[in-house]
Amino acid sequence: MKIDDILQNQKITGGKKISGPREGGADFAQVLQSHLGGSQSITATDSTSAANQVWAAVPAHLRLEGLSLSETTINTLDSFSAALGNTALRAEELEPYISALENELTAMQALRRELPEQDPLSRLLDQVAAVSHLEAAKYRRGDYH
């Protein structure tokens, strides 16, 4: 039994009937065959080519440094989270994590200034820096005491 046979007379919420392939549209077998055969080529859009140009404009050492710094900061945040879950630790014992986060935040901000605004790494650094800043500010404010 085909799916088309099962769904032919069923209704979707909203009152629309489900039917077979739409007119003018390709059915699944045609799409699958075209992808397996490689007959369809993927063309780059303007936004894709612009992103590739931005990507190529940034030196590799900055990319590696940014990714490494992001990974280090995320690991520090993860360790800080685990330390917060440890009820045997006092709030003062969390200070090394916060100091590390603040140092990494400063380094991320400096690196961020060297990257173009449209760069995907810039967005990643912004997001990681925002979380780091938030956690450090919450600790300094006394939320974890």
Domain total for the chain?
Answer: 2
Are 28 and 53 in a shared domain? no
Exposed, middle or buried, 35 (CB in 10 Å: 0-12/13-18/19+)?
exposed
Are 33 and 62 in a shared domain? no
Are 78 and 28 in a shared domain? no
- pLDDT score of 7: 53
Cα 36 off chain centre by:
29
Q: Which residues contact 21 (CB under 8 A, 6 or more apart)?
A: 27
- pLDDT score of 22: 54
- pLDDT score of 36: 76
Residue range(s) defining the domain that contains residue 27: 3-37
Are 16 and 63 in a shared domain? no
Give the Å distances, CA to CA, from 35 to 11, 22, 40, 98: 31, 20, 6, 50
**pLDDT averaged over 10-residue windows placed end to end, the chain, 145 residues:** 53 50 63 66 49 63 92 96 90 92 95 90 94 94 85
